[in-house]
Chain A
Amino acid sequence: MATQQTQLLARTLLTPAVALLFIWMIVPLALTIYFATLHYNLLDPGSESFVGLENFRYFLTDPAFLASLQNTLVLVGSVLAITIILGVPLALLLDQQVVGLSIVRLMVIAPFFVMPTVSALVWKNLLMHPVSGLFAWIAHLFGLPAIDWFNEAPLFSVILIISWQWLPFATLILLTALQSLDEEQKEAAEMDGASAISTFIYITLPHLARPITVVILIETIFLLTVFAEIFVTTGGGPGLQTTNIAFLIYSQALIQYDVGSASAGGLVAVVLANIVAFFLVRIVGRNLEA
């Protein structure tokens, strides 16, 4: 029923946001595509020349790419698995009658608000240091040898830190979903003599399917480009053991100054993220109609 005037107004109000986001999306992406077809090294100025798909060939056949792709997948997969496998029981626990629940909730959600550089450094030094870290002391108490985390299991150490940061996110979302679960449905099941386990499998778990999907998709978007945690703890090493795609592109661009190859890598990262985004946008879009 909107009049022409309000329609015009609505469009005017929307324009700045749309225009800005459009420029933000198109300009850097177009430049990335353009740079990806050039031989372009900042250490060798003036030597820019068109090389076609050479950078993609170089980036994709570089052993570092395969290693970093593998690290990226292991990192994303492990953190997802850890946060969901621990997040579901944790959310179920917090959904029980707990005295002082609001304080427990605060403690559980806290890691999510800690900036990545802080959590990475606190874990690396105060907890995981092979000599003076708390974990080394605990191992000593049990008569176990201390683990030199970042040398013996570097990728696992990074995974541990990132899981700690994202467990609260998964838990909070699953808890919010649990709280919207119809209590009467569960009661009816209990009255019909359903055991706690079958109530969980047939009522709770199906109800959690959607929030779990949302957690997986959103975490994946963020985890694909984990950067700060690696930057301050391992610098991608030892060797390439903790280099993920984001860190590989960073090191090619800002350490080796190879603009062409880093741009090609950037496009590979965009394609990977888009595969995930495709599904996420679908799910959110379906919700928009409801």
Chain B
Amino acid sequence: MARMVTTRNKVISTAAAWLVGFLIFFPILWMVLASFKTELEAFAIPPSFLFFHWTTENYVTVQERSDYFHHALNSIIIAGGSTLIAMLIAIPAAWSMAFSPTKRTKDVLLWMLSTKMMPPVGVLVPIYLIYRSFGLLDTRAGLIFILCLGNLPIVIWMLFTYFKEIPKDILEAARMDGATIGRELIYVLTPMAVPGLASTLLLNLILAWNEAFWTLNLSTLEAAPLTVFIASYSSPEGLFWAKLSAASTLAIAPILVLGWFSQRQLVRGLTFGAVK
């Protein structure tokens, strides 16, 4: 039953919501606009909002001068690789805890969650020294490994909350019909688990893509993903706003699109199921 809403109220709340939404989104919009300006126009006062000389030159320059694709590829490999490996380890674990829970399942889950609470800076020193002695600094493998471990608790948790919602009766019915565990997994469980798997994958891609503690501390050039590449624009001599904006736009565009698709799952994933 919908509440009665007068037209006037609707107009006011619509206007207010659009205004606030626009203000919050504005820094991103402003960045995208700046990426199509010349360096001079990007820096100009008074600023031009739409009527400037639109150019795509910055996008070309960013690639030519700084090898943007190298870092984008690093981002894809590191975020993708760490997420996939985390999924491979997490799916069996979450499946086992959701479908064959024991007395200790709850404790195991909470313990896993608590490992996520450890501030990365608390273990920066040993990780850095271990990486240095094993030659893992500034390698993709090193970053994949650490991001995978960092996100593993979230992946397990998300999968667990999704798997738990799959009705157990269906599995028992399949078992009665003589399905083996392998068949049960492939024909019964997988189709029902696909939405949960997809949103877990998506959220963790986003988290890994934007991770900016380990990537900044453990990579410099060879394995540097986009977070580190963008950070290199912070040097005082590099005040190239239009190019910074172009590089930034490219760096956030794919993840913004993925993020918009996964916004509903985001709440559930980041609150470990506490808010749905």
Contacts and interface: CB of A to CB of B under 8 A. Distances in A.
B248 A100 contact: no
Contact of B22 (A107, A122, A168, A288): A107
A172 B124 contact: no
Interface residues of B, number: 101
Contact of B119 (A176, A259, A273, A288): A273
Given A29-B118, A117-B212, A269-B119, A108 B255 contact: no
Contact of B121 (A16, A227, A276): A227
A18 B93 contact: yes
B126 to A, nearest CB: 4
Contacts of B124: 249-250, 253-254, 262, 266
**Residue in B212, B217, B260 whose Cβ sees the most chain A Cβ within 10 Å:** B212
Contacts, number: 325
Given A14-B92, A117-B227, A214 B123 contact: no
A5 to B, nearest CB: 9
B244 A21 contact: no
B223 interface: no
Given A115-B209, A126-B34, A164 B24 contact: yes
B120 interface: yes
B248 A187 contact: no
Contacts of A285: 106, 110
Contact of A90 (B14, B20, B25, B114): B20
Nearest to B126: A31
Interface in A252-271: 253-254, 259, 262-263, 266-267, 269-270
Contacts of B206: 113
Interface string A157-199: 0000000100111001100110010011011000000000000
A225 interface: yes
Nearest to B46: A137
B252 A93 contact: no
Interface string B212-248: 1100110000000011101101100001010011001
Contacts of A103: 21
A249 B119 CA distance: 12
A283 B271 CA distance: 10
B18 interface: yes
Interface stretch (B50-58, B59-67, B95-103, B192-200): B95-103
A13 B95 contact: yes
Contact of B259 (A96, A112, A123, A173): A112
**Residue in B118, B217, B276 whose Cβ sees the most chain A Cβ within 10 Å:** B118
Given A7-B100, A118-B252, A227-B121, A218 B270 contact: yes
Contact of A97 (B10, B122, B230): B10
Contacts of A17: 89-90, 92-93, 112, 152, 156
Contact of B260 (A31, A93, A106, A118): A106
A208 B77 CA distance: 40
A6 B121 contact: no
Contacts of A276: 117
Contacts of A280: 117
B263 interface: yes
A105 interface: yes
B100 A172 contact: no
B179 interface: no
B212 A115 contact: yes
Nearest to A244: B121
B119 A281 contact: no
A277 interface: yes
A253 B230 contact: no
B95 A283 contact: no
A111 interface: yes
Nearest to A171: B24
Given A115-B210, A116-B210, A210-B275, 13 more contacts: A16-B92, A17-B156, A20-B89, A31-B130, A106-B263, A110-B24, A115-B227, A116-B227, A117-B228, A122-B245, A249-B121, A253-B128, A254-B128
- 3 nearest A-B pairs in the assembled complex, by CB-CB distance: A277-B117, A31-B126, A113-B259
16 contacts: A20-B89, A20-B152, A93-B13, A93-B17, A96-B13, A97-B13, A110-B260, A111-B27, A121-B233, A121-B244, A121-B248, A122-B27, A122-B31, A177-B275, A221-B117, A263-B126
